[in-house]
Amino acid sequence: MASDFNPTVSLIIPLFNEEEMIPLLISSIEAFRSERKENIEVIFVDDGSSDKTFDLVRAQTQGLAGYQLIQFSRNFGHQMAISAGVQSCKSDAAIVMDADLQDPLDVAGRMIETWKQGYDVVYGVRNSRAKVPASQRLTAHWYYRLFTRLSDVDAPLDAGDFRLISRNVIEAFNQFTEQQPYVRGLISWLGFKQIGIEYDRPGRVLGKTKYPFAKRFQFAMAGLTSFSSRPLKLAVNLGLLIAFGSLAGLIWVLVTKYLLGTAITGWASLIFAAFFFGGIQLLFLGIVGTYVARVYDEVKGRPRFVIREMWNSSGKPAVLGSNHGNRVFEQAKPTSE
């Protein structure tokens, strides 16, 4: 990279009911910006917060340069908020990070340095000193390993969405139109020159997690189903195994009855065998159904998110999207509030 070129880097930060975090977050970003020589801009995506997040961001960044705020019409989810932020990013690189400062700004600085050495994706790898609740850490640990075994992409272990992506990757990423984007998997899938940097992940600074168990589980399922069809193949293999097994069982029954002449007892075991196979059938019907539901979601082709309002701290006219979803930012037309 030429030394006289001063790049612009956007921080993309999804916000969902983060009112406690806003003052500290903005002051930390301001401190970070004053330390960096690059132009640092910020894209906040308010993912349908029901608290004062939107108003607070506006009040606290008014008059400061380089803050953009996109407000969703309702909660569309963290992954969609990231996608919207990336779509609106015009900078040379973007860094996706959480609002709760669990993705430290000094690590973002290291990511920028690594990017300048010629990498397209610099992702944060959480090392073992991470200060996250033990239960969450364990499930995440095993989930990442299960994902790697099942999926067809080489997603790095112990890496969340905290990462820097170059302009090339931003452009490529914006071509995805998935209804349930699994951002970290999609970015791995894209290829380019990727590298991980290790960091200690601190605990959430203020407020509570916005990822309760049900949401976390749904997210994990979305990740697996979008990157692996192996659960379906498992159904085929298990089905074959059981079919051959029962054929062998049948032969054994005939042999004991006609050749050995021993009576067959125990219909109780029969009924449990029936339940067992009923259960297996339901399980795989469910797995097939999960994939069918995803296909149905894609086929409907609904807008992926809907924007209620867009706001800019430097007082530029607000922009309202006319056609929301995939290509909203190209089609947005300016209005004068």
Contact 238, 280 (CB under 8 A): yes
CB of 11 to Mg ion, least distance (A): 15
Report the C-alpha gap between 126 and 143 in whole angstroms.
14
Q: Choose between 6 and 50: whose C-beta lies nearer to ligand UDP.
A: 50
CB of 13 to ligand UDP, least distance (A): 6
Report the C-alpha gap between 38 and 311 in whole angstroms.
23
Q: Choose between 119 and 164: whose C-beta lies nearer to ligand UDP.
A: 164
CB of 193 to ligand UDP, least distance (A): 27
Report the C-alpha gap between 129 and 201 in whole angstroms.
7
Question: For residue 72, which phi and psi values (nearest 5 degrees)?
Answer: -75, 155
Q: Choose between 102 and 194: whose C-beta lies nearer to ligand UDP.
A: 102
Q: With binding defined as CB under 5 A, does residue 53 bind Mg ion?
A: no
Q: Choose between 120 and 184: whose C-beta lies nearer to ligand UDP.
A: 184
CB of 109 to ligand UDP, least distance (A): 19
Q: With binding defined as CB under 5 A, does residue 17 bind Mg ion?
A: no
List CB contacts of 262: < 8 A, sequence separation 6 or more: 256
Q: Choose between 38 and 161: whose C-beta lies nearer to ligand UDP.
A: 161
Q: Choose between 184 and 204: whose C-beta lies nearer to Mg ion.
A: 204
Q: Which stretch binds Mg ion (CB under 5 A): 15-23, 59-67, 199-207, 319-327?
A: 199-207
**Which tokens in the block code for residue 95?**
């860094």
CB of 55 to ligand UDP, least distance (A): 16
179 binds, among Mg ion, ligand UDP, none (CB under 5 to 8 A by kind): none
Contact 331, 311 (CB under 8 A): no
Report the C-alpha gap between 11 and 34 in whole angstroms.
14
Q: Choose between 29 and 92: whose C-beta lies nearer to ligand UDP.
A: 29
CB of 253 to Mg ion, least distance (A): 58
Q: Choose between 94 and 99: whose C-beta lies nearer to Mg ion.
A: 99
284 binds, among ligand UDP, Mg ion, none (CB under 5 to 8 A by kind): none
170 binds, among ligand UDP, Mg ion, none (CB under 5 to 8 A by kind): none
Residue 253 CA: distances (Å) to CA of 1, 249, 263, 266, 275: 76, 6, 10, 13, 20
What is residue 255's DSSP assignment? Answer: I
Contact 291, 233 (CB under 8 A): no
In whole angstroms, what separates CA 71 from the centre of its chain? Answer: 19
CB of 43 to ligand UDP, least distance (A): 13
CB half-sphere exposure, 110, CA atoms < 13 A: 16
Contact 54, 71 (CB under 8 A): yes
CB of 225 to ligand UDP, least distance (A): 19
* The CA-based dihedral angle spanning residues 40, 41, 46, 50, taken in that order and rounded to the nearest 10 degrees: 70
Contact pick of 68, 87, 102, 179 for Mg ion (by CB under 5 A): 102
CB of 40 to Mg ion, least distance (A): 21
Q: With binding defined as CB under 5 A, does residue 100 bind Mg ion?
A: yes
18 binds, among Mg ion, ligand UDP, none (CB under 5 to 8 A by kind): ligand UDP
Question: Which spans of this chain sit near ligand UDP (rule: CB under 6 A)?
Answer: 14-16, 18, 47, 75, 77-78, 81, 98-100, 102, 204, 209-211
Across the chain, which distance is largest between two alpha carbons, in Å? 94
List CB contacts of 150: < 8 A, sequence separation 6 or more: 224, 227, 228, 230, 231
Q: Choose between 48 and 160: whose C-beta lies nearer to Mg ion.
A: 160
Q: Which residues bind Mg ion (CB under 5 A)?
A: 98, 100, 102, 204
